[in-house]
Amino acid sequence: MVNSKLNKYYFGYIFVAPFFISFAVFGLVPILYTLYLSFTNWDAFNDPAYTGFGNYTRLLHDIAFYQSIGNTLIIWIFSIVPQLIIAITLAIILNEKFIRGKHFFRAIYYFPNIITPVTLGVLFSLIFDWQTGSINKLLTTIGLVEDPINWFNNPWWSRLIVAAVICWQNFGFNMIVFIAGLQSIPDEVYEASQVDGANGWQKTWYVTIPLLRPVFIFTLITSVIGGLQLFDSPYMIGNGPNNTTRTMIMYLYETAFKNFNFGYGAAIAYGVFVIVMCFTAVTVWLTRRREQ
């Protein structure tokens, strides 16, 4: 009887052991090894040479790293603002009971989210190609421009195109999240506001939006975490003139895997980690403070 109880007691540990072993091997060990590499100078061909805080000192004075931070923030802002506006607008419309075929439209709008960012990056780079792109052909055909526009030769157009890729891919996911939040609002709340004389716009502004605050917080936090780690789409589209679309992760990749400076690349990785954590913490603090 005692042995049977002991066996049942250890069953839980046996079932969760694969997860912790996998996390240790594929998560914790690489994290610690990257931390070790950040204090060394290593090119993958020679033994790592200890440099102390040299890589971090270099990082603090690296203009290219600060430029990549600025590029990342600009692209993120250009993508998140229209993304949330489109998502909440479509969510409110497709949540109405009188809309026919709303499940079909939800699926259509969500579809870009399941396409890989690499595919979207290649697709948009072909669409906006200045020689063979469909956008230039359309503009010249209808007479809006005489000569093809080299979109990727302009720093702001390059950033806007990257932001458009990210917005197009993610607005459907946020729309589904907002729809879930809308469906969690009790009908009694709207009925009470209607009794008080609220019209459709007032219901949306004074009832729906405030009750969706937790959903806004969730989408904002996830967008901050994901937006500061942009890599796939910007990398496939290109760096833009003077590296104006090179994000932090792209700079990390180029430093470590193109220049074979793995020590400094590891320091950049931890710099990106600190930046993401700081932005996330500030976002959480501001949202909680507003709630209070």
pLDDT in tens, 68-82: 999 999 999 999 999
Give yes or no: residues 280 and 239 share one domain.
yes
Lowest-confidence range among 48-52, 139-143, 191-195, 250-254?
191-195
Burial 121-132 (b: 16+ CB within 10 A, else e): bebbbeebbeee
Give yes or no: residues 22 and 131 share one domain.
no
Helix (H, G, I), strand (E, B) or coil at 27: helix
Q: Would the pLDDT of 264 be above 90?
A: yes
Q: What is the pTM of this model?
A: 0.84
Give the pair of three-digit tokens for residue 70.
Answer: 């600025």
Give yes or no: residues 133 and 239 share one domain.
yes
Only one residue has tokens 């540990």, namely: 13
Spatial distance between the Cα atoms of 71 and 155, rounded to a whole number of angstroms: 10
| 89 falls within a domain | yes
Q: Would the pLDDT of 230 be above 70?
A: yes
Mean pLDDT, rounded, for 112-136: 89
Give yes or no: residues 14 and 95 share one domain.
no
H/E segment holding residue 3? helix 2-23
| 38 falls within a domain | no
Q: Report CA-CA distances (Å) from 185 to 127, 174, 205.
A: 41, 17, 14
| 39 falls within a domain | no
Give yes or no: residues 100 and 3 share one domain.
no
Where does the pLDDT of residue 97 fall: very low under 50, low under 70, confident under 90, or very high at 90 and above? confident
The residue that leads in pLDDT, 141 or 99, is 141
Give yes or no: residues 25 and 91 share one domain.
no
Give yes or no: residues 69 and 209 share one domain.
yes
Residues in contact with 32: Cβ distance below 8 Å, sequence separation at least 6, in sequence order: none
Q: Would the pLDDT of 37 be above 70?
A: yes
> What is the CB neighbour count within 10 angstroms for residue 108?
11
Contact present, 59 and 265 (Cβ < 8 Å): no
pLDDT of residue 287: 72
Where does the pLDDT of residue 193 fall: very low under 50, low under 70, confident under 90, or very high at 90 and above? confident
pLDDT of residue 291: 60
Domain holding 2, by residue range, is: 1-29
Give yes or no: residues 109 and 247 share one domain.
yes
Give yes or no: residues 10 and 110 share one domain.
no
